[in-house]
Structure 1
Amino acid sequence: MSRASARQNPTRIQREKTRAILAAALDVFSAEGYRGATLDQIAEAARLSKPNLLYYFASKEDIHRVLLERLLDTWLEPLRGLDPEGDPVAEIEAYVVRKLRMARDMPRESRLFAGEVLSGATRIADQIRGPLRALVDEKAAVLRGWSEAGRIAPVDPYHLIFSIWAATQHYADFDAQVRGILGTSEGAHFPEAERYLRHLFRRAITSEATIGPDEP
């Protein structure tokens, strides 16, 4: 929580300044990484003096932590939407689409989260082992139940979720590579990516093929 948010009844200006700082920090952290980012860069991007910024946040780490906490909650929302009472194939396809559209609409947030995980996830380890793991366990149980009931093909639920994360977030974290190879403008490749990923995961969860324990 920011210093301003921690105060009782923060003013409208305080709330606006806090949002401006976080928006500026998202730009800086996603471009420079945690180590490369500085308070001076964040203050400049937010159009504030450094002392004014420090009125709202105690440190660079404080800003980064608040961003990650808010991002993780947003990042979990598509998975929360997986409905145990829905049609399994439709629910999994919808989850893939939600994650891909998040990669399209929130590339900076995706890169911020990826950078933190690649550096060891020390600042969000508790959240990963806590609420993220609990939610993944809950939805993995749903996927396993669908598989055991024959409503989708036999599949490891955790690796299915990991595969969806990898396939969709690639389009945010490696956007420059994707556009460079395809020769497309920003965002132009997403409709085709969505069609392909829908097909890919539909085949994965409706095929009768299984992977045995000793198969590569």
Structure 2
Amino acid sequence: MADAEEETMEQRRAPHISAGSGPDTNPIGVVAYDDGLVRDALMAQCAADLATSGYRLGGIVQSNPHREGRRRCDMYVKDLLGGDEVKISQDRGNEARGCRLDQDAFARIDAWIERAVLEHVDLLIINKFGREEAQGRGLRAVIAEALIADIPVIIGVSSQNLADFLAFAGDSATRLSPDTEAMTAWCRNAIKRRAQDQCEQGLPPVGA
């Protein structure tokens, strides 16, 4: 989502997440970062690489185009499943202080991710576990819902929120290097493991 000091979302309670059995089988890949713009670029490139391979993705990625004469970037979030994009920043001028997010956009984002979980996408990409999620709100519940549905999740977490994220995820998370090659490799393996598990359990392929 947007930067921590700017985000706010409706309160939601997260169901319990069971721990993974090891780093090679954990259902969450976490990318820790200090620079939010770098995070957004990495997540977007990872999503693009996976989409090129034909995977069915859900979740969101963020872009931050800069406009000449503005001190701060515009912020857009894209729905990876449906392809829609929404601007989440409001243009309040260079001298504006406080939150500049469009709160109406967040209801749409929440619905996008809920739909992705219900449609059992191959992988869920969440660009940020931020302050709201650290406090038990925001997208925390739907992330847990994805894991309960056996959908692997890759997520960005700022260094300042990492302890709260690990308290939430427990042993379910594998920390990934902040580069697209490592991120994409983990995602491919997670999707493959899920397909193998489905086959071993005699279940129909995901999406069937």
Q: What band does the TM-score fall into relative to the shorter chain? A: 0.3 to 0.5
Kindly indicate whether structure 1 or structure 2 has the higher relative contact order, using CA contacts under 8 Å at least 6 residues apart: 2
TM-score by length of 1: 0.35
Bigger radius of gyration among the two: 1
Greater strand content: 2
